[in-house]
A = this chain, B = another copy of it.
């Protein structure tokens, strides 16, 4: 499949990955992680070691180490002797991820309701405005990312690094879920919901904030199309293109 390979490489080439990220291993990890979280790298994209090595200007060993860690985080899938690719979540993965997220976000929002300060409020408000702008500009990837950032900001308010780390993984995986299962032409519309959650938090009403958060997450999930495994699409496309010939 030379074609899909090339597209994947192209995808790696232009965006997200800067010309010369330092030799710092963590930096490389963050770069790739961010590229996936921002949907610059779509599920299924192969991540060839030699290619990454040239992009980042480091030895293969280091790339390999980074890929190992990304695989542990669940955003990259490592197949023996087949290499690494951006994880393509199954419908069950998607569902499980949502369930776990509800549990974690519920806890976070309840803690945050007691911790939120003026500085936090400013950050959250700014985020909501940025997302609003992204929607206005039609930047859907930016919207998904900013939406995730809103939730990460909430996690940071709690001061609990463990919850924060867990949520980070869940949100990154959700970016993969969304780009795999999104219904075309169905924009996410979480703007008012984020705002309502913020208000409840500022009012110190943990129960209401929790209710709003769970409803919000439910809406995001409902907006997806989890039933079909999606992408035996390739075959369907081919059949559609060449009705009965060759």
Contact = CB atoms under 8 A, between A and B. Distances in A.
Contacts of A125: none
A56 to B, nearest CB: 17
Nearest to A97: B162
Interface of A is mostly: helix
B69 A100 contact: no
Contacts of A73: 72
B103 A107 contact: yes
A96 B73 CA distance: 20
Nearest to A99: B160
A21 interface: no
A102 B106 CA distance: 11
Copies in the complex: 2
Interface residues of A, number: 25
Contacts of A97: 162
Contacts of A107: 99-100, 102-103, 106
Contact of A96 (B64, B69, B96, B163): B163
Interface in A90-140: 93, 96-97, 99-100, 102-104, 106-108, 111
Nearest to A159: B96
A161 interface: yes
Contact of A99 (B61, B106, B163, B170): B163
A99 B110 CA distance: 12
